[in-house]
Each structure stands twice: as C-alpha cells, then as structure tokens.
Amino acid sequence: MQCDVLIVGAGGSGLVAAINAHESGAKVIVLTKEYPTRSQTCMAQGGINAALGNAGEDSVESHIANTLKSAHGLADESSVEFLCSNAPKALEWLDSIGVPFSRTDDAKIAQRKLGGASSSRACYAQDYTGLKILHTLYDRCLALGIEILSERYLLECITNTTDSNLDVSGVSVLNKRSGEVEIYSAKSVILATGGYSRVYNTHSTNSVSTTGDGIATAYRAGASVSDMEFVQFHPTAMKNSAILISESARGAGGYLLNSKGERFTNELAPRDEVARAIDDEILKGEDVFLDIRHLGEEFIDEELPQERKLARLYENVDPVYELIPIKPVAHYTMGGIEVDKNSQTSIKGLFAVGECSNHKVHGANRLGGNSLLELVVFGKQAGENAASYSKNKSQHISVDSSTCSLVDDAMSNDTLINFYEKQKELGELFYLYVGVKRDKSTLEEVKGKLLDIKKDVAKMGVEDKSKIYNTNLIEFLEFKNILEISELILLGAINRDESRGAHYRVDDMQEDDSRFKAHTVINSGVLKYED
Amino acid sequence: MTVGLKLTPLSIVGYSNMKIKIKREEFTEYEVDLENVTLLEVLNEIKTTQDPTLSFSSGCRSSVCGSCSVRVNEREVLACSYHPKDGDVIEPLRNSPILRDLVVDMDKAYDFNAKAKAWQSSLSKDVALTPEDEKMNEIQSDCILCSACYSACPVYAVNEEFLGPFSLTRVWRYVSDKREIDSKDKIDVIQTNGVWDCTLCNECTVVCPQDISSKADIEKLRARSSMAGYMDPSFANFGGGFGSFDGSPSF
C-alpha cells in the first residue's frame, strides 16, 4: 500500500492531522491498532482551553502566562504562544464542524474553570468533551472519504539513509485480524500514537492501549525523545478503579477532604502540587475524598453527568450524597518524541503529534484543558507540513517487505515466565517509586529490577500460537515497548538531580535552573540537556 | 508490592468461586476467585493467569470507548460496567462476523455511518446555539459506538443492509443540529434500508449503555422524512405497516 501521508493513530491528533493533510491535497491513509473513536481522546472530560472570554474576562496573554507558570520553565515560549494564540481559531473550527459544546445563555460556547487557570477558559461538552470532539472528527473524516484502516498494530518505522540523513519511507504493521505483517510505504509518516501512562499499569487513568508504542518505535528507528521523566499524576482518580474524576469537579467548587473531613490544600492549584498534597495526606495515614455534594444534584446532572455515573458504577458511591474516595494516578505523559517547530522528528519525513510528541508546550506539568487544544492546533500543523513535505518528495522509496523479527522473536521465545506478572510488578514499582515523589537511590534500585526483567525477556513470550487475532502477541509487544519506555523514564529521572513540576525528588527538592532549566533529550541511549 | 490492592480474604469468608461460560469455538467454562469486580476484570484475570489464548477487546475500562461490548445471558452489555455472577454465559455480539472468541469485525457496522452520511454537511461559522438548541442532540452525541444496539437489532435477520440504530441516531444528531443548514442529503439517503425498515421494537433502547433511544430518533427522522415529502413505503406497497418481528409493542 502506498500513500503520500501515512498517519498512525486515530485519536484526536491523528484525525485532525488526517483532515488537514487531506485538505492540503495529499492522499492519506490512517492506521489504528483499535478502531477510530476508541482512543484515549474519548476519555478527556474537563474541557479544551481557549481565551474566548465567554464566561468572564480572559486574554491570550493570560492563557500563555498560566501555561508557562505551570510548565516550570520547561516550556518553549514561542510554542506556547503559538498554541494559545491559535486556540480561538481552533475552537471556531471545532464549532464549525459540529462539535456539540455546552452553551451559555447568550448562545456562546460555555466555559469553566480548571486548575492553574486565571479565568474560566475550558470549553466543554458536559463532561464528555473528548468523546464529542473525537466522534465529530471521525464523522468529518468520513465526510471527506479519508481511508481509515482499523486493527493494525505498529511494528517498525522503516527508514533509509540518504545523504547521511535518516529518512522515513513507511511503516510495518501487524494486521491483528490476519496475523500478517503489512508494509505501508509513504512519502511522510505522522505518528499520533498517544502517551505511555500504562507503564504504571493499573495505576493510571488511561486506556489499556496507552503503551507508548509510537514513541518506542520511533526511538528504535533512531529518533530522539525528550523529557520522558515528566509524568503527570492526576489528583483525583477513584481509589479502587483508578478511573478519572474530572478536574472540572474541583473547578466548579469541589473540595478535597481527609478522613477528618478537613480541607488541606488549594484544590485549584496545578496538578503536580495538588497530587503531592494528597500524597502527603495518604502518607500520614489519611484517606482522601473529593466532595461535590454541595454543588447539588441539578448542577451535577447537568454539568458532570459522567462523573456521577462513574462514581456510582466503579466506586459504589453517589457523589450527590456521598464522598468520593480518590488517589493520584498516572494520567498524562509530558515527554515524547522530540519534534521541531514544524512537528517533524529528528528523522526526515517523520512527524509526531499529540501525546506521543513533545511540542514543549506543557513543560514539567501540563495544565488541564491544554492537551485537547494541543491536538487540534498541532494536528493541523503536522497534517499540513507532512502534506507539503510529501509534495516535495518525488518518489516512493521501495521498502523491503520481509517478515518482522519482532513478531518472529515473540512467537519463538520460551514462555517460562508470565510477562503479565512482570508487567504488573513493574507497574507497582513505578507507582511506588517513580511516581508523585522520587528518590535517587530507589530510582536506581528500580532500574536494577527493570534490567533484570529485560534480561529475562527471552524467557517470556507468547503462549497463544494462533495467527488470527492474537491479543496475547499484541500485549507482549506492548509490554516490550513499556520496558523500553520505562528505561527512558528512569534515565531522565535519575539524571535530573532537582525537582521541577511533576518530577519531584525528595532528595533534591529545589529547582536548579543553572543545570536543569533544559530539556532531557535522549537518542540511542545518550542523554543530553538542550535548551 | 501490593499498595492500592486489598487482598480479599476469600478463604476466610468461605466465598465460593464464580464459574462463567464463554463462547469460543465451543462454550468453555472458567472459574475465578474474584469478588466485586467487573466482567472485564474477570476476563483479564482469565487471560493473564489461566488462558492467554482467550480473545476479547477492551480499552478505557470506564464505559466510554465502546470496545468491550459482549452479550451476557443474551443481553448486550459493556464488560467493563457489568458485574458478573456465577453461571453467566458470555458471547460475542451478533450481526457482525466473529473474528475470534468475543471479538467481532465491526468494519461493516461502522461503514453504515458513512453510508448514512452521518456528518455535518454545511460547515458554518458563527451560528448562535442556545442551551436549548444544544439539548436537542446532547443525548445522541453521547454515543460511544459500542455497537450494542446493532447487535440487538432484529432487522438484520431480514435485511443485512439496514443502516441500523447507531447510524440513524447519528443522522438525527446532525439533522437536529441548528448548524446543519443542508440536511436534504441525509434525509434522502435514509429512505432506503433506513428509517422505514425499523420495526420500532425498541431493543436498541433497552441495551444502550448511554440511555440513547435510536427507536425514538428513527421516529423523529420519519417525521422529518414525511415533512420532506417521503412516505412509509410499506403503506404504499402493502396498504398497511407490518408488525414487529418479536411481537413487542411498536409504541
């Protein structure tokens, strides 16, 4: 199969990129390991930021200032400016294609407050904002006739070297249904494959699919990754299930309470601060709860219907009358594939967008409402740039269609060790020691344990020998990606001897601008700090 | 190592194990030692500790991605929101080809969205929408495309090309949107294998995890169709509507 622009991932950023590449005249194919509309984007609840001023005064300047403050010096100012100043246009576009945003009485898009924001800036559709944006984008793709191929799992980025430059020429994927390796050749490739919060296994709000496949694949192909140690813990996941309760619950006036019924922190501080405050309480032996009872049933049913449903279903509490038990869990990964001002990675023709990329707009701590915005603003940029790159590239480079050693190895490995157990073990280790708070010596210990697991990988494999729909195989390949990503997180976390945003080191609690106001960039195992 | 996980003292309280049957090539019985869990957690337990060949789909674990719908005791549910009990029988969705075990191929089902032109045809800027306007399709836009309604729909037994409940709900979602200025295409396309093929049996409504009633949406689309000059072809052809297939009331 051949096309101009090949997009891997059909979440929000992949579909926005697809629409824009298509509208720029490129022949586009989108591949997804699931189906479109099943990605992580559908789980975004709170909103999408734009300084529209529909619910009180606001300005692009304030949006920029709030984003930079939360980023703790690690965001790129011009990227943040690009993001925030394009936000109103992004919302206008979403509105024009039919996203059913909630409305104000004067018929404008409704906005509400999220943490770290100086105004009510998050546009929302009840608490189904991501779901409704994603589905509308999907409908738009259908209207444009964009080809989306489901259930293709990304194996490798295919590259070749021209004039001593690494150049992308396509990807190989595993067709989950047939079990065959398929090669897609393309003039440019956009990775829109999502983040890596599932490194924390069940201690994450994320979909089970958020295993950093695109990042690990790009890294293996020779791309740089950056700021991998910055993992955002969402303050309010439900205690038993780790399912998210949106920040908009606190934005609307929800309280955080300990077992004594006392408030203990500013609920609307940026997420890193709130997560640490909760962690402190838990370490003191307190249980922590989210209290939205005083918001009233009518408000909750109107603005937060999903939260009520989830709390009843997964925690067996009705938040109209009861407290919701919560804990912080891994929610969003700021790090990702290093990209330049054009969304291009260090491999020519390979672009990245969305949570798998690092556009340096979130820095050390993302603001709620900025990730949905990121996928629209940079999705457009990546789609347009990949299309124009493909126009300037005259020919497809023929790609080798041999079988993939990844699959062969996985199928022929011994199965002496159950990899699911190791995945769980690693998730526990990361949650405990590479989580809200970290310590250099324990990070080193975790690294030792990780390397032990990696050493045993040859003894872990796939018991299911079926070619057809082998989820055991897919999950093993995802587990291998998790191992690679884990090592990158640890490398960044161990070397960054300071505390900044979501990376909080109990053995080094100060920000050290002289050494670390810089991005951690890793390529082929070599770590550098770059401005 | 077990922070956040509380061990359930099963043996102490004498809790009996739960047995469920899963339709694979043959019905296979599995026994698990879990309490207060979702069906998805049970499936994961089986896959990761007993039988890695068991195939099923899952995603968000929180009822919003639509990946894990299956049938339990002949009723469509999301595995992640259903609490299983001893003796439950788990099967894949109907009306779509089974790929393996509980996994079905949704391509054809999803294709009906495109066939029904379920999108906004007129891109318009600055159309003022009031909260009441937005409420017109708030529920319809909660759809997660889990395909439960598609599986429960009896029309597919007689017409495999029926546009189906979720696609028609999606059409209503756009037709009812004040920003859509030109819905004629959509009304035209739903006349064949569309709104008039529905038996109004309401099975789709009963199984929807998001409380959407495709049946009600189809009735609204019929009214719009009539306003556009279309009529029920069964009246035209047979002089009367035919009853629903399963004998359930039509209203």
What is the rounded end-to-end Cα distance, in angstroms, of chain A?
A: 40
Domain count, chain B: 2
Of A452, A444, A455, A530, nearest in space to A491 by CA: A444
Q: How far apart are CA B194 and CA A136, in angstroms?
A: 22
First to last CA, chain B: 56
Same domain, yes or no: A430 and A411: yes
User: Is residue A113 one of the residues assigned to a domain?
Assistant: no
| Catalytic annotation, residues of A | 271
* Chain B hits for A132, Cβ within 8 Å: 141
Kindly state whether residue B56 falls inside one of the protein's structural domains: yes
Would the pLDDT of B173 be above 80? yes
Residue B120 lies in domain: 107-234
Identify the CATH number of the domain in which residue A391 sits.
3.50.50.60
CA distance linking residue A21 with residue A353, whole number of Å: 13
Final residue belonging to a domain, choices A287, A308, A331: A331
How many domains, in total, are found in chain A? 2
Residue B15 pLDDT more than 70?
no
Question: Is there a domain that residue A365 lies in?
Answer: yes
> Would an 8 Å CB–CB cutoff place B49 in contact with chain A?
yes
A486 and A395, same structural domain?
A: yes
Instruction: Please say whether the beta carbons of A112 and A98 come within 8 A.
Output: no
Q: Comparing C-alpha atoms, which of A193, A247, A190 is closest to residue A216?
A: A193
Q: Do the domain assignments include residue A302?
A: yes
Q: Where do runs of H (alpha helix) occur along B81-213?
A: 107-115, 131-135, 148-152, 165-175, 184-189, 203-207
CB atoms B180 and A327 under 8 Å = no
CATH of the domain at B22: 3.10.20.30
pLDDT in tens, B57-110: 999 999 999 999 999 999 999 999 999 999 999 999 999 999 999 999 999 999
Identity of residue A13: S
User: How far does CA A417 lie from the centroid of its chain?
Assistant: 30
Interface with chain A: mutation pick from B58, B129, B179, highest number of A CBs within 10 Å: B129
Distances (CA, A) of A281 to A135, A243, A275, B153: 39, 20, 10, 51
Q: Could you read off the pLDDT of A265-312 as tens digits, one per residue?
A: 999 999 999 999 999 999 999 999 999 999 999 999 999 999 999 999
* Residue of B141, B177, B179 best to disrupt the A interface, most CBs of A under 10 A: B141
pLDDT for residue B5: 39
- State pLDDT tens for residues A498-530: 999 999 999 999 999 999 999 999 999 999 999
Residue A68 lies in a domain: no
Per-window interface: B 1-30 vs A, CB < 8 A = 1-4
Does A444 share its domain with A303?
Answer: no
Which CATH number is B165's domain given?
1.10.1060.10
Distance from CA of A100 to the nearest CA of B (A): 7
Yes or no: say if A186 and A6 are a contact pair by the CB < 8 Å rule: yes
Say whether both A276 and A176 belong to one domain: no
Q: CA angle at residue A141 from A137 to A144, to 5 degrees?
A: 135
ipTM: 0.95
Number of CB atoms found within 10 A of residue A97's CB = 18
B125 and chain A in contact, CB less than 8 A: yes
What phi and psi, each to the nearest 5 degrees, are found at residue A57?
-65, 140
Collect all residues of chain B within an 8 Å Cβ-Cβ radius of residue A309: 63
The phi-psi region of residue B62 (left if phi > 0; otherwise alpha if psi is between -120 and 50; otherwise beta) is alpha
pLDDT band at B237 (very low <50, low <70, confident <90, very high): low
Residue B171: pLDDT above 60?
yes
Which of A288, A306, A331 is a domain's end point? A331
Q: Is residue A220 part of a domain?
A: yes
Does A412 share its domain with A461?
A: yes
Contact A241 B174 (CB under 8 A): no
The CATH number of the domain holding residue A238 is 3.90.700.10
C-alpha span between A473 and A92 (Å, rounded): 43
